[in-house]
Copies of this chain bind each other. A is one copy, B any other.
């Protein structure tokens, strides 16, 4: 019964790291997983998270995980505190299982309104780690084996004691008086803001001030403006508003970095 179910629903593990693809570190993790659970479907969210950038990893996971089946195991290893006292955790939810360091990489997912934590544990049981754990590569020696054993059907409590007070992150903390922030910049140079369509209200008369440039309306898509023109629109990352240049790179053209502010006026938000 379990076997036939597995044939129809093979386990899925997604990997998200800041390792890049160059050095074979992710390749080693994949080997560990295939060794333990050969029938896993292995897929990648990103391996080009900027080194040690926990918030970027949290955002990439946040915008992508919801498109996977709820039995998917999301293994995230952006782990500047590897080998220190930060906890290694596995978190079971109604929208996916999350494996990685408790350092904030799951912080946005855990704060999402449409996800419920079922159970979380600390990964302390050496039976589900590699025999030799190197202090600088828990991705390979602790997290990949944990994900693979979960994929293979090991129950969460087997991995270690309950974990509470998991680190959560918040988009809203710096948003006030119509000032919002750039929380992520993607490959195209599009600026993703910490406000969503829900925050904007119904008025189309919203004005965005970014650097010394002003955008006086909300567009629907890139092709609504001319090539090279600046636009704001409700983007594809869970309704977050974005600022872009059609067929251009807004971040470069405007000199904007993550954390920079954008002013929004003439909407319910500015009230």
Contact surface of A with B, Cβ cutoff 8 Å: 8-10, 12, 14, 16, 19-32, 34-35, 38-39, 41-49, 51-52, 60-61, 63-69, 72, 80-84, 134-137, 140-141, 184, 186-188, 220-224, 233-236, 242, 246-247, 249
Which residues of B sit under 8 angstroms from A222, Cβ to Cβ? 80-84, 136
Which residues of B sit under 8 angstroms from A25, Cβ to Cβ? 64, 186
The reply to whether A60 and B140 contact each other, CB–CB distance below 8 Å, is no
The reply to whether B46 and A24 contact each other, CB–CB distance below 8 Å, is yes
For A25, A49, A61, which residue has the most chain B Cβ atoms within 10 angstroms? A25
Knowing A27-B14, A48-B21 are in contact, say whether A134-B235 is a contact too (CB < 8 A). Answer: yes
Which residues of B sit under 8 angstroms from A236, Cβ to Cβ? 134, 136-137, 140-141
For A66, A80, A135, A235, which residue has the most chain B Cβ atoms within 10 angstroms? A135
The reply to whether B20 and A48 contact each other, CB–CB distance below 8 Å, is yes
5 contacts between A and B (CB under 8 A): A8-B38, A21-B44, A27-B43, A82-B221, A84-B222
Which residues of B sit under 8 angstroms from A49, Cβ to Cβ? 22
Distance in Å: Cβ of A25 to nearest Cβ of chain B: 8
Complex-state Cα separation, A136 to B241, whole angstroms? 12
Complex-state Cα separation, A211 to B105, whole angstroms? 35
Which residues of B sit under 8 angstroms from A220, Cβ to Cβ? 83, 135
Q: Residue on B with the closest CB to A220?
A: B135
The reply to whether A44 and B61 contact each other, CB–CB distance below 8 Å, is no
The reply to whether B20 and A67 contact each other, CB–CB distance below 8 Å, is no
Complex-state Cα separation, A236 to B130, whole angstroms? 12
Distance in Å: Cβ of A76 to nearest Cβ of chain B: 11
